[in-house]
Amino acid sequence: MTASVSPEKEGLKNILADRVALVTGSGRGIGKAIATVLAQHGAKIVISDINVETSDATAEEMVKAGFQAVSCPANVTNTESIDKMVESAMEKFGQIDILVNNAGITRDNLLLKMSEEHWQAVIDTNLTSAFKVTQPIVKIMSKQRYGRIINIASTTGVHGNFGQCNYAAAKAGLIGFTKTVALEYAKRNITCNAVAPGFIDTDMTKALGEKIINSFVEKIPAGRMGTPDDIARAVLFFAGLGDYVTGTVMEVNGGLYT
């Protein structure tokens, strides 16, 4: 049987033509790389970040590069803000086919030193946000009978990590959420998958400082940190090629399973 997308015949360049993708936390880092790679493969892009400046600047940059993009800034912990984001995105493009729940923060500390405030902030931003953002968008996708939801989890959510009990709990929760949304919406042609990055070179990890970064890199079989593009290409697979793949977690970690 012939595959519906043949790289030889059609090329992968436009596999997302006529698709609209909304990426949360896409003002910088992994989210920005995901938005760029999806745009390079034909998608129209909704850039959204709590930081209005980086959200607007990223969308502007993409438009200048010849892509169709709009900035709809939002705080993913705030329902009102999310509703406005979805409304603006629908006004602009009339559909949302791909949702990437990428916005996230870390507030690291050992369990005994972890404040309730930092626990809650990480759960709200990394986990509850996915529930709040996905709920209105899955409604739209259900009507369209088409949707690709990709949640950016973490290897920490699969294996745990020293000093990250809040983050590990949030990302593990996000994986459970992913598997359940996959079950509930499979019949509507909506897939839901997670990408679990390992140690990726962004502002989030730069904050750890050179000494800690080097000690992590030493343990990575691939011998280097991941790049935001490494994650974006995994997202591209779920967004454009993995029609029969749902409820799964792809670890993108250079071989580091700890």
Calpha distance 56→50 (Å, rounded): 11
Is residue 167 among the annotated active site residues? yes
Does residue 151 bind ligand NAD (CB under 6 A)? Answer: no
Calpha distance 219→229 (Å, rounded): 21
Residues 23 and 100 sit within 8 Å (Cβ to Cβ): yes
| Shortest distance, position 236 Cβ to ligand NAD, whole Å | 16
Q: Positive or negative, the Cα torsion across 141, 149, 36, 24?
A: positive
Does residue 30 bind ligand NAD (CB under 6 A)? Answer: yes
Does residue 103 bind ligand NAD (CB under 6 A)? Answer: yes
Does residue 29 bind ligand NAD (CB under 6 A)? Answer: yes
**49: which residues sit within 8 A by CB, 6+ positions away?**
24, 25, 26, 27, 28, 31, 55, 58, 73, 74, 103
| Shortest distance, position 95 Cβ to ligand NAD, whole Å | 22
Residue 69 is encoded by which pair of tokens? 């993009």
Calpha distance 255→258 (Å, rounded): 9
* Contacts (CB under 6 A) with ligand NAD, residues 215-254: none
Does residue 58 bind ligand NAD (CB under 6 A)? Answer: no
Catalytic residue among 146, 167, 244, 257: 167
Q: Which residues are catalytic?
A: 167
Return residues touching ligand NAD (CB under 6 A): 24-25, 27-31, 49-51, 54, 75-77, 102-105, 125, 152, 154, 197, 199-200, 202-205
